[in-house]
A = this chain, B = another copy of it.
Amino acid sequence: MAPVPEIEGAVQAARAGYAEVVLVGPQDLLDRELAARDARSLKIEVVHASEAVTMEDKAAKAFRRKRDSSIRVAARLVRDGKVDGLISAGNTGAVMTTAKILLGTLEGVDRPALAQVFPSSKRGKATVLLDVGANVDCKAIHLEQFAVMGEIYCRKILGVAKPRVGLLSNGSEPHKGNELTREALARLNNAPLNFVGNVEGRDLFNGRVDVIVADGFIGNVALKISEGLVDAVSALLKEALSSSVSSKVGYVLSRKAFRGFKKRLDYSEYGGAPLLGVRGACIICHGGSNANAVKNAIRVAAEFSEGRVNEKIERELALASLSKN
């Protein structure tokens, strides 16, 4: 089966001039799909990969066994400097494992972190949460590195001049937190960041801060709670709005407003989750991504590379480390 959102997204991104795109996968299939889309004049190249990692594959096993998987071939292209970054809407664990091993980490980074952009109720404001799942057990120094990486991403990709950074905790007062966050709070208070201290779960959606730092266990729970609640709210609304004739008519009249509302909640507008801290750009899209999400992920990968985000991360981490000695 053809990976339609990926192909469509690549075509749209190439048409928009975001980047020169290399599609990695079964050569025959991809050539045929591109031809069917009249995309031969676009800057899209195909590199063959004979295997595919499935959503059911275990990350470490897939890495060892499927040496010619599209994820691994793409990562080799990045490692060898043939492309600047990779995008995948495949198995998140496998992409992270492959990227960490083949690309390696930046100078000063102990653990790469997965960042997710959340929409907020304040127009034009979004909040970056990291780590949303790359590192389950973290130390305070890792959270500090996540803060530096997230701040630069927010500045360079989301265009926020002086991002406000917060630490996810069970209350905003400085005495709140668990063992890990209390130690991280002390570190972050001394870091060269616009750090506002502890923030709460509700601050993920109200635009109070631009970057929120958490360990990958909490970050992942936070992400999935948000996704689950949005699904539940949608289902409940739909049920409520189909319960009577007048509410059905009401729904038809307000349909455009609902579409705008859903678009504001749609993470795909932000173009996937960057794995920060590896060499090269690595953007991981949700398994159910549409062409628009893939197109935006390609745009973000290009901006990531052109904005020299990784160089800035290495420089800031060196400064942060110097300021401690």
Contacts and interface: CB of A to CB of B under 8 A. Distances in A.
Q: How many copies does the complex hold?
A: 2
A254 B222 CA distance: 31
B137 A178 contact: yes
Contact of A178 (B121, B217, B223): B217
Contacts of A252: 250
Contact of A170 (B171, B179, B220, B229): B220
A148 interface: no
A232 B179 contact: no
Contacts of A121: 231-232, 235-236
Interface size class of A (residues with CB under 8 A): 35 or more
A254 B246 contact: yes
A220 B120 CA distance: 20
A231 B247 contact: no
A269 to B, nearest CB: 14
Interface string A154-198: 000000000000001111000011110100000000000000000
Contacts of A253: 246-247, 249-250, 253
Contact of A228 (B204, B215, B246): B204
